[in-house]
Structure 1
Amino acid sequence: MKLSGLKSVENAHDDSIWACAWVPATENRPALLLTGSLDESVRLWRADGLEPFLPSPSTGHCLGVVSVAAHPSGAVAASASLDSFVRVFDVDSNATIGTLEAPPSEVWGMQFDPKGAMLAVAGGSSGAVKLWDTSTFELLATLPVTPPNQQDQQPPPRPASKGSTPGGKFALSVAWSADGRRLACGSMDGTIAVFDVARGKLLHQLDGHFMPVRSLVYSPMDSRVLFSASDDAHVHIYDAEGKSLVGAMAGHASWVLSVDASPDGGAVATGSSDRTVKLWDIKMRAAVQTMGTHGDPVWGVAFRPPGGAGVRAGRLASVSDDRSISLYDYS
């Protein structure tokens, strides 16, 4: 497995880029890269040349964008901002479909479920995951990340920013299993809550990190396998059903801010505040390549999903505080 640099776009946004996600291909167009920035805008980019897909960025927020997510249909996407709103919009027209409101500091990482019926949002200082119905945009459920027998023992949550590391149950990141049966949520205290979605039940907590869990992703090939990225500079591999830590991978010199799994399930990529992107071989449980294309912390990495006419080569994108986007060939 190998990454090869294809293209970088400098000044892709007017401020730090904190989020990226791939919008799946549709019958009418190939996959697109979605990015969100502190400049309050969301932009869409064509898959190989990184040319702007729309003539102007989306500016539906009044504060920085901290998370973006794409619906599995490829037709709809969402952006979450420090203004405490989630904007759901039509990808091709940029028309707003729905606006979800939350109290301050309660909108962070988010992801659509594999069928596209729900949007899971890490609820920040609420200490819970919010599940929204994507057909009605009504709140379906609020899932606390603290076990019921521990809820009275938790200290009150403290305010947080993207780069801060407060304690307490501050829900920061979410990931759906490939079969849609499980939802994981990473917290500022280093724990990961795993939910049975159908029953709305917290199954158990995964331990092992001792600093914030910034990013999570399930293996696309095995719904038991969960990868996590943490400020403790480690990437963990969990058996999320067996409640066990399978492996810990070290190599970054600082916080690991983002993790994503390759479509073939054989690798993960990470972005770090050490300004690098690393490619990790899952079988070897080691970094096999380090890319130094960015000059500042790398807040997001994302593999392009398979599918689309004529698409064969794998792609990985990364975004950074340096306002740039980098695109790599993955083979």
Structure 2
Amino acid sequence: MKLAGLKSVENSHDESVWAATWVPATETRPALLMTGSLDETVKLWGSDELVLERTNTGHSLGVASVAAHPSGLIGASASLDSFVRVFDVDTNATIATLESPPSEVWQLRFNPEGSTLAVAGGGSASITLWDTATWGLVATLPIPRPEGPKPSDKSGSKKFVLSVAWSPDGRRLACGSMDGTISVFDVARAKFLHHLEGHFMPVRSLVYSPTEPRLLFSASDDAHVHMYDSEKKSLVGAMSGHASWVLSLDVSPDGQALATGSSDRTVRLWDLNMRAAVQTMSNHTDQVWGVAFRPPGGTGVRSGRLASVSDDKSISLYDYS
């Protein structure tokens, strides 16, 4: 497996690019890359040439996270202005605006069926679940403290929720916190199941394997990537190699590779069978906040793609084979 650089867009936004995700292909268009930036905008880019298709405005502060509905028709963006904006990808029309108190939105993800939007609740130490048919709040999942809290930890700041991920069957939801703990929930019962431990610094990104539904990957400021059996509560592997915080990660659609972005300015490709980094890409000149593999599907799409975004305002696109 390898990455080959295809295209980079310098100054893709006016400020740091903090988020990236792929909008799945529809019957009428190929997949699009969606990026969110500190410049308060969300941009949509053509799949292979990174041609700017449209710019979405509507936030009054930087965009921290973007998410795409599995239908490819709806996008969502979370901003430091405490609002989640839900919009039509092809027309940019606003579908809903979801309000959260200050610093209560850090990351958001649609479930695989597209029926629920999970919003990582920042300082509220909770996940909120929104019904995508009505855009009403259906549940709030509070993050319990790990057993044996330190007596000095009187504030809830350590439970600040940074990341969220759905299992491929939509039955489990995992979230990562500032204190390094990962919490797993049974979504149907809105019930906390257990913590996954091993990190001692913020967990900024989580993703389940698309081919091994129990396998959960985490990226942390401790410079490590962990692999968990999320059902057995066991750490099954740890990978290291980045020189600094691991800010983002994604698993390839074939489940064979992992991509990570780091504050050491690199993107790494990891062979999950070898549990080792097989390639380091140094396209960016500042920390890499987002990496995302393009989902399969769409006409004329033959090969894999990976995108990365950075504080250097650029987007890079790679061929994954």
TM-score range, shorter chain: over 0.9
1:156 aligns with 2:155: yes
Contact in 2 for aligned 1:18/1:299 (Cα 8 Å): yes
Letter in 1 for 2:91: S
Deviation at 1:37, TM superposition (A): 0.2
Mapped partners of 1:283, 1:98: distance in 2: 42
CA contact under 8 A between 1:132 and 1:140: conserved in structure 2?
Answer: yes
- List aligned pairs for 1:34-73, cutoff 5 A: 34-54=34-54, 57-73=55-71
List alignment gaps of at least 5 residues for structure 2: none
Task: Write out per-residue CA displacement over residues 259-317 of structure 1, whole angstroms, 9 at most, x where no aligned residue.
Answer: 00000000110000000000001111110000000000000000000010121100000
CA distance in 2, matches of 1:144, 1:150: 18
- 2 CA distance for matches of 1:148 and 1:269? 29
2:198 matched residue in structure 1: 208
1:114-150 alpha-carbon deviations (Å, 9 max, x no partner): 0000000110110011101111111111101115977
8 Å contact kept, 1:143–1:200: yes
Cα RMSD between the aligned structures? 1.4
Contact residue 146 and residue 195 of structure 2 kept, 8 A = no
CA shift for structure 1 position 155: 2.8
Partner of 2:10: 10
CA contact (8 A) 1:147 1:202 kept: no
Indicate which of 225, 240, 246 corresponds to 1:235.
225
Superposed, 1:289-300 pairs within 5 Å as: 289-300=279-290
AA of the residue aligned to 2:180: G
Aligned length: 320
Return the alpha-carbon distance in structure 2 between the equivalents of residues 152 and 281 of structure 1: 38
Match of 1:178 in 2: 168
Letter in 2 for 1:26: T
Which of 173, 188, 211 aligns to 2:178? It is: 188
Q: Does 1:244 align with 2:234?
A: yes
* Alpha-carbon contact 1:127-1:144 (below 8 Å) kept: yes
AA aligned to 1:217 is V
- For 1:38 and 1:138, how far apart are their aligned partners in 2? 27
| 1:60 match: secondary structure | coil
Identity %: 73
Distance (whole Å) between structure 2 residues aligned to residue 254 and residue 222 of structure 1: 28
The 10-residue stretch of structure 1 (168-177 or 149-158) with the greater mean CA deviation from structure 2: 149-158
Equivalent position of 1:81 in the other structure: 79
Question: For each residue in 1:71-91, what CA deviation from the matched residue of structure 2 results, as whole angstroms up to 9, or x when unmatched?
Answer: 000000000000000000000
- Report if aligned partners of 1:186, 1:192 keep a CA contact under 8 Å in 2: yes
Distance 2:163 2:288 in 1: 16
Partner of 2:247: 257
Change (3 A) 1:85 1:246: same
1:96, 1:2 → 2: CA distance? 39
Q: How does 1:242-321 map to 2 (within 5 A)?
A: 242-321=232-311
Give the TM-score normalised by the residue count of structure 2: 0.98
1:326 pairs with 2:282? no
Q: Distance in 2 between matches of 1:58 and 1:306?
A: 25
Work out whether residues 237 and 248 of structure 1, in 8 Å CA contact, stay in contact via their aligned partners in 2. Answer: yes
**Residue in 2 aligned with 1:162?**
none
3-state SS of 1:53 partner: strand
Residues 220-258 of structure 1 deviation map (CA, whole Å, 9 limit, x = unaligned): 011100000000000000000000000000000000000
Report the equivalent of 2:136: 138
Q: How does 1:98-117 map to 2 (within 5 A)?
A: 98-117=96-115
Structure 1 CA distance, aligned partners of 2:15 and 2:167? Answer: 32
Task: List alignment gaps of at least 5 residues for structure 1.
Answer: 159-167
